């Protein structure tokens, strides 16, 4: 029963998201969906495995460029492009993950940033013959219309991204409840005890790293397909902290945190840059306040209140499936 | 082979660049060593220092006055950030301080944009004289920067080894609880360290201002390099910071002579290599208490 109830919650949340489409302009809604997927990977790393990565744009760029290369040079099918982006994400994160997850947490964060910078310059200068440097690759006209959901049209792309976000969210929900999820949490909280139980903390971290960054690569491939354009700007170091900021803003380790955070962040960025033209100030001040308030984030603060209002049942008596860390 | 004159000016260029890196990252390194916080807001004080230098040197016509002002404001900003924000997060996890200080950084960049706008500002070079080294003309100002950085290193070394506060700071890097047990107020040490770090970052910004255009993003652009320097040198080590900042400066400068795109990527490749061989950097301590 408990499981059913939480699946119901997930469906309700995404029904609400679909409703957003009515109120919000389409590009904005699409941006939110892709950004949510982007943040979910970071959220899993940060909230479940305790690895903070300042280099998520690196994996975003891997996915985006893999999809872009395929769509620019070889094919026209957007679905296949996204699939190739995912594959590239798996390959790259397996290769670098094996080196990175051994490092201490603080070094891990910095090394990922370094990877983002390397990929940035790789795409901007070193591989400029293939990537066209700062001009980027434009392939919007290359996209052929695909069956079922035509990804070259923004309104159908929204339905697709909503479904993908739902699938990713459900997948992470499933992971949270599985033994693997528990192991990840143990790797975050007490690594020694995890080893004592006979699990390899390296293996668990590596798998978690690959899962999270494949999600990020998926988001990158979707960006590429949606915009029909990729430039090195996507892995720019100055945007390195975006997913971390959104994760914290939404609430670390919560299921819906990334979505709430993405809506809040994208919305604020849009609104503030239109009204004041100075979004950094607000975001920065907000970030400091969210951190000082106790790392719970928007959703982490709202969730208990919502539960109280909706169920009126004493919270402590029921098994809490969503938050856990 | 590379032209000799080009090589010499490249080396000097790298040294001056390394000096700027050193002045910024010494704050990061000290803060990490003593307080176990990663203080990205040093890059904000660097930017603030550059802007104060710009404004004062525009008003008075004297760059050095501006640099002093930038240093003072950087120190004051560091003090304010420590009192208002960092004081509350010393107990938390290290990644926590990283995110919080990043918030301070981008918030501060917003403030700078509010006061000075988005347009990059030029700061005139104060020393026109070219100095002859081995038959190559070198801009005098770059040599001044190198000398100042070395003086700062000597000053920091004397401070940490010859004064009682410095000794307490060094002891605190080793084992904070014992220092506390001796009856020394460690929170005052933290504040002092933050003021020094902020002041040096402000100094770096002021000195760097005539060499580049001053713009709001200058700190964030340097973020990756600052990270890299502290990682290669080892978090918390002053000597390591000096060595690695000159190393990175040389790699950037000489790398760009050989093959331009290499200049930006080579330091990162070196960093990855060093991390794989020595996961704590060149001079970092392998053991981390707390």
**Token output for B16:** 């001056």
Task: Give the minimum alpha-carbon distance from A160 to chain B in angstroms, rounded to a whole number.
Answer: 33
Q: Is residue A117 part of a domain?
A: yes
Mean pLDDT computed over B244-271:
80
Residue in chain B closest to A295 (alpha carbons) equals B96
- Sort out which chain B residues have CB atoms less than 8 A from A127's CB and list them: none
Rounded CA separation A278/B88 (Å): 27
Angle formed at CA A121 by CA B272 and CA A107, multiple of 5 degrees: 30
Facing B110 at nearest CB: one of A110, A284, A291? A284
**Token output for B159:** 């401070």
> Comparing B52 with B236, which gets the higher pLDDT?
B52
Instruction: Give residue A3's pLDDT.
Output: 55
Q: Is residue A322 part of a domain?
A: no
**Which residues have CB under 8 Å from A27's CB, separation 6+?**
A154
| Lowest pLDDT segment from B80-94, B122-136, B159-173, B203-217 | B122-136
> Comparing B158 with B88, which gets the higher pLDDT?
B158
Of all residues in chain B, the percent with pLDDT exceeding 70 is 96
Facing B224 at nearest CB: one of A114, A244, A292? A114
Angle formed at CA A79 by CA A75 and CA A85, multiple of 5 degrees: 80
Mean pLDDT computed over A190-212:
86
Mean pLDDT computed over B57-81:
86
Q: Answer for the pair B198, B75: CB distance below 8 angstroms, yes or no.
A: yes
Question: CB distance B103–A286 less than 8 Å?
Answer: yes
- C-alpha distances (whole Å) from A152 to each of A104, A131, A147, B220 are 43, 22, 11, 35
Instruction: Give residue B265's pLDDT.
Output: 73
**Which residues have CB under 8 Å from B181's CB, separation 6+?**
none
Instruction: Give residue A215's pLDDT.
Output: 92
Rounded CA separation B10/B247 (Å): 13
* Residue whose entry in the numeric block shows the structure tokens 């640099």: B67
Average model confidence (pLDDT) across chain B: 82
**Which residues have CB under 8 Å from A185's CB, separation 6+?**
A48, A324, A325
Question: CB distance A52–B99 less than 8 Å?
Answer: yes
Mean pLDDT computed over A35-58:
86
Task: Give the minimum alpha-carbon distance from A197 to chain B in angstroms, rounded to a whole number.
Answer: 24
- Sort out which chain A residues have CB atoms less than 8 A from B230's CB and list them: 110
Rounded CA separation B112/B56 (Å): 15
CB proximity B8 to A under 8 Å: no
Q: Answer for the pair B286, B35: CB distance below 8 angstroms, yes or no.
A: no
Q: Please say if the pLDDT value at position A90 is more than 90.
A: yes
Rounded CA separation B200/A114 (Å): 25
Residue in chain A closest to B90 (alpha carbons) equals A292
Classified as helix, coil or strand, A6 is helix
Banded pLDDT at A320 (limits 50, 70, 90): very low
Instruction: Give residue A324's pLDDT.
Output: 39
Q: Is residue A230 part of a domain?
A: yes
Rounded CA separation A22/A191 (Å): 46
Facing B271 at nearest CB: one of A109, A114, A284? A114
Instruction: Give residue A6's pLDDT.
Output: 65
Residue in chain B closest to A280 (alpha carbons) equals B110
Facing A109 at nearest CB: one of B95, B108, B268? B95
Residue in chain A closest to B96 (alpha carbons) equals A291
Highest mean pLDDT among A24-33, A189-198, B153-162: B153-162
Facing A288 at nearest CB: one of B104, B265, B268? B104
Full 3-state SS string of A200-251 = CHHHHHHHHHHHHHHHHHHHHHHHHHHHCEECHHHHCHHHCCHHHHHHHHHC
Within 83-142 of B, beta carbons closer than 8 Å to A belong to: 85, 88-89, 92, 94-96, 98-100, 102-111, 113-114
Banded pLDDT at A295 (limits 50, 70, 90): low
What is the extent of the structural domain holding A63?
25-238
Q: Answer for the pair A63, A218: CB distance below 8 angstroms, yes or no.
A: yes
Residue in chain A closest to B105 (alpha carbons) equals A284
Instruction: Give residue B19's pLDDT.
Output: 92
Mean pLDDT computed over A307-319:
59
**Token output for B230:** 């502290």
| Lowest pLDDT segment from A108-112, A219-223, B185-189 | A108-112
Q: Please say if the pLDDT value at position B70 is more than 90.
A: no
B120: phi then psi, degrees, rounded to nearest 5: -65, 140
Rounded CA separation A156/B205 (Å): 49
Q: Is residue A177 part of a domain?
A: yes
Mean pLDDT computed over A219-226:
89
Of all residues in chain B, the percent with pLDDT exceeding 90 is 7
- C-alpha distances (whole Å) from B212 to each of A159, B54, B116, B120 are 48, 11, 16, 9
CB proximity B227 to A under 8 Å: yes
Banded pLDDT at A313 (limits 50, 70, 90): low
A294: DSSP letter: T
> What interface predicted TM-score (ipTM) does this complex get?
0.73
Banded pLDDT at A216 (limits 50, 70, 90): very high
- Residue A120 CB neighbour total at 10 angstroms: 25
> Comparing A167 with A313, which gets the higher pLDDT?
A167
| Lowest pLDDT segment from A6-10, A35-39, A59-63, A259-263 | A6-10
Q: Long-range contacts of range B53-57, CB-CB < 8 Å, 24 or more positions apart?
A: B53/B123, B53/B205, B53/B206, B53/B209, B53/B214, B54/B116, B54/B121, B54/B123, B54/B209, B54/B214, B55/B116, B57/B123, B57/B124
Question: CB distance A284–B276 less than 8 Å?
Answer: no
Q: Answer for the pair B169, B160: CB distance below 8 angstroms, yes or no.
A: yes
Mean pLDDT computed over A188-217:
87
Length of chain B: 290
Residue in chain A closest to B111 (alpha carbons) equals A281
Rounded CA separation A52/A245 (Å): 11
Average model confidence (pLDDT) across chain A: 80
How is chain B split into domains, by residue range? 4-218
**Which residues have CB under 8 Å from A93's CB, separation 6+?**
A59, A209, A210, A212, A213, A214, A217
Question: CB distance B268–A117 less than 8 Å?
Answer: yes
pLDDT digits (tens, 9 = 90+) for B5-24: 778 888 888 888 899 999 98
Question: CB distance B106–A126 less than 8 Å?
Answer: no
Instruction: Give residue A284's pLDDT.
Output: 79
pLDDT digits (tens, 9 = 90+) for A113-127: 778 877 887 887 777
- C-alpha distances (whole Å) from A20 to each of A9, A162, A222, A255, A256 are 17, 11, 20, 19, 15
> What does the buried/exposed string (b/e) look like for B220-243 if buried means 16 or more CB atoms within 10 Å of the residue's CB?
bebbbbbbbbbbbbbbbbbebbbb
Instruction: Give residue A86's pLDDT.
Output: 92
- Sort out which chain B residues have CB atoms less than 8 A from A54's CB and list them: 98
DSSP output for A144-156: PPPSSS-TTSHHH
Rounded CA separation B275/A107 (Å): 9
Of all residues in chain A, the percent with pLDDT exceeding 90 is 9
Banded pLDDT at B110 (limits 50, 70, 90): confident
Banded pLDDT at A89 (limits 50, 70, 90): very high
Q: Answer for the pair B9, B17: CB distance below 8 angstroms, yes or no.
A: no
Q: Answer for the pair B104, B81: CB distance below 8 angstroms, yes or no.
A: yes
Q: Please say if the pLDDT value at position B72 is more than 70.
A: yes
**Which residues have CB under 8 Å from B47's CB, separation 6+?**
B108, B109, B112, B205, B216, B218, B219
Structural domain total, chain A: 1
Residue in chain B closest to A133 (alpha carbons) equals B261
Q: Please say if the pLDDT value at position A315 is more than 60.
A: no
Question: CB distance B107–A244 less than 8 Å?
Answer: no
- Sort out which chain B residues have CB atoms less than 8 A from A117's CB and list them: 224, 264-265, 268
For an interface test with B, give the residue of A43, A54, A119, A269 to mutate (most B CBs within 10 A): A54
- Residue A133 CB neighbour total at 10 angstroms: 16
| Contact pairs from chain A to chain B, CB under 8 Å | 135
Rounded CA separation A135/A233 (Å): 10
Question: CB distance A241–B99 less than 8 Å?
Answer: yes
- Sort out which chain A residues have CB atoms less than 8 A from B25's CB and list them: none
Banded pLDDT at B285 (limits 50, 70, 90): low
Q: Is residue A52 part of a domain?
A: yes
Q: Long-range contacts of range B124-129, CB-CB < 8 Å, 24 or more positions apart?
A: B124/B57, B124/B63, B124/B210, B125/B210, B125/B211, B126/B63, B126/B64, B126/B210
Question: CB distance A284–B106 less than 8 Å?
Answer: yes
Within 36-55 of B, beta carbons closer than 8 Å to A belong to: 38
pTM attached to this predicted model? 0.79
pLDDT digits (tens, 9 = 90+) for B173-204: 777 788 888 888 888 888 888 899 999 999 99
* Angle between helical axes of A257-275 and A297-311 (0-180°, round to 10): 120
Of all residues in chain A, the percent with pLDDT exceeding 70 is 91
CB proximity B228 to A under 8 Å: yes
Instruction: Give residue A238's pLDDT.
Output: 66
Tell me which residues of chain A have a C-beta less than 8 Å from any C-beta of chain B. 52, 54, 99, 102-107, 109-111, 113-115, 117-118, 121-122, 125-126, 128, 237-238, 240-241, 244-245, 248, 278-288, 291-292, 295
Q: Please say if the pLDDT value at position B290 is more than 60.
A: no
Q: Please say if the pLDDT value at position A9 is more than 90.
A: no
Instruction: Give residue B1's pLDDT.
Output: 55
Question: CB distance B261–A126 less than 8 Å?
Answer: yes
Q: Is residue A6 part of a domain?
A: no
Instruction: Give residue A139's pLDDT.
Output: 78
Instruction: Give residue A163's pLDDT.
Output: 87
- Sort out which chain A residues have CB atoms less than 8 A from B114's CB and list them: 278, 281
First to last CA, chain A: 23
**Token output for A295:** 């790392």
């Amino acid at each position: 029963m408990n499981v059913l109830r939480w699946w119901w919650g997930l469906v309700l949340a995404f029904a609400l998201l679909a409703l957003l489409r009515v109120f919000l302009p389409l590009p904005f809604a699409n941006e939110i969906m892709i950004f949510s997927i982007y943040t979910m990977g970071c959220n899993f790393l940060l909230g479940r495995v305790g690895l903070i990565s300042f280099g998520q744009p690196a994996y975003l760029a891997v996915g985006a460029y893999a999809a872009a290369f395929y769509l620019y040079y070889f094919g026209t099918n957007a679905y296949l492009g996204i699939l190739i982006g995912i594959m590239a994400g798996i390959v790259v994160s397996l290769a670098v993950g094996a080196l990175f997850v051994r490092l201490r947490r603080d070094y891990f964060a910095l090394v990922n940033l370094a990877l983002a910078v390397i990929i940035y310059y790789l795409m901007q200068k070193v591989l400029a013959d293939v990537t066209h440097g700062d001009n980027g690759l434009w392939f919007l006209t290359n996209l052929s219309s695909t069956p079922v959901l035509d990804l070259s049209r923004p309104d159908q792309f929204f339905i697709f991204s909503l479904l993908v976000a739902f699938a990713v969210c459900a997948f992470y929900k499933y992971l949270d409840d599985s033994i693997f999820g528990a192991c990840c949490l143990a790797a975050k909280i007490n690594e020694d005890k995890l080893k004592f139980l006979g699990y390899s903390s390296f293996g668990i971290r590596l798998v978690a790293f690959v899962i999270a960054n494949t999600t990020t690569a998926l988001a990158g491939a979707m960006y590429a397909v949606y915009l029909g354009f990729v430039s090195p700007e996507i892995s720019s170091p100055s945007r390195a902290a975006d997913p971390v900021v959104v994760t914290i803003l939404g609430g670390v380790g919560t299921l819906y945190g990334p979505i709430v955070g993405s809506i809040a962040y994208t919305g604020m960025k849009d609104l503030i840059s239109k009204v004041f033209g100075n979004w950094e100030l607000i975001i920065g001040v907000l970030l400091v306040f969210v951190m000082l308030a106790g790392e719970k984030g928007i959703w982490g603060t709202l969730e208990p209140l919502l539960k109280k209002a909706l169920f009126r049942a004493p919270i402590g008596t029921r098994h809490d499936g969503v938050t856990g860390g | 082979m590379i032209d000799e004159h080009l090589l010499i000016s490249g080396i000097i260029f790298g040294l001056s660049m390394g000096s700027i890196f050193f002045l910024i990252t010494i704050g990061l390194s000290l803060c990490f060593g003593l307080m176990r916080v990663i203080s990205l807001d040093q890059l904000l004080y660097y930017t603030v220092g550059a802007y104060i230098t710009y404004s004062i040197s525009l008003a008075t016509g004297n760059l050095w006055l501006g640099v002093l002002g930038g240093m003072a404001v950087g120190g004051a900003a560091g003090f304010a950030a420590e009192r208002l924000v960092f004081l509350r997060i010393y107990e938390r996890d290290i990644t926590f301080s990283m995110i919080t200080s990043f918030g301070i950084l981008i918030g501060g960049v917003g403030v700078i944009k509010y006061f000075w706008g988005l347009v990059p500002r030029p700061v005139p070079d104060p020393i026109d004289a070219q100095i002859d080294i081995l038959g190559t003309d070198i801009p005098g100002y770059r040599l001044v920067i190198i000398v100042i950085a070395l003086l700062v290193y000597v000053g920091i070394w004397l401070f940490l080894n010859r004064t009682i506060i410095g000794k307490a700071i060094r002891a605190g890097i080793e084992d904070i609880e014992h220092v506390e047990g001796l009856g020394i107020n460690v929170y005052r040490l933290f504040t002092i360290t933050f003021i020094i770090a902020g002041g040096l970052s402000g100094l770096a910004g002021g000195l760097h201002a005539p060499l580049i255009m001053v713009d709001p993003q200058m700190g964030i652009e340097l973020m990756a390099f600052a990270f890299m320097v502290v990682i290669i040198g080892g978090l918390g080590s002053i000597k390591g910071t000096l060595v690695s900042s000159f190393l990175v400066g040389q790699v950037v400068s000489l790398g760009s002579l050989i093959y331009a795109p290499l200049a930006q990527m080579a330091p990162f490749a070196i960093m990855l290599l060093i991390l794989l061989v020595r996961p704590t950097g060149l001079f970092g301590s392998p053991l981390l208490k707390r």
